[in-house]
Amino acid sequence: VFHLVDMAYHAGKVGGTLPAAMNAANEVIVADFLNGKASFLDIEKTVCTVMERHERDGVTQNPSLAEIFAVDEWARMITEEIRK
């Protein structure tokens, strides 16, 4: 079962920087999928891993724009590391 919709609801409920982390990871892994570098099932697994790491490290509530951009950059970097 594909759980990304549930994960999106979770990110929205938690709020803060978690939706930015989810979106960034999703953009990177979907691009890999579209370019034949990742499987369809890798999308959910990778996004979930990035979200879990971000929640473990601490989601910032009421983030500044700079904090959102920093999390976006972090999530993209982590997603690339996972893909290697």
Structural domain boundaries, residue 72: 4-83
> Which residue type is seen at 42?
D
What pLDDT is attached to residue 2? 75
| Cβ burial 41-72 (10 Å sphere, 16+ → b, else e) | ebbbebbeebbeebbeeebbeebeeeebeebb
d(CA 34, CA 12): 26
Output the pLDDT for position 1: 57
Q: At 26, list the tokens.
A: 């999703």
Mean of pLDDT values over 14-28 = 98
pLDDT score at 31: 98
Number of domains in the chain: 1
- Mean per-residue pLDDT for 9-38? 98
Q: Model's pTM, two decimal places?
A: 0.94
Please tell me the predicted confidence (pLDDT) of residue 84: 83
The CATH number linked to 74 is 1.10.1740.10
- Residue range 30-57: mean pLDDT, rounded: 97
pLDDT (average), residues 47-73: 98
Distance of CA 43 to the CA centre of its chain: 10
**Residue 39, by phi and psi: left (phi above 0), alpha (psi -120 to 50) or beta?**
beta
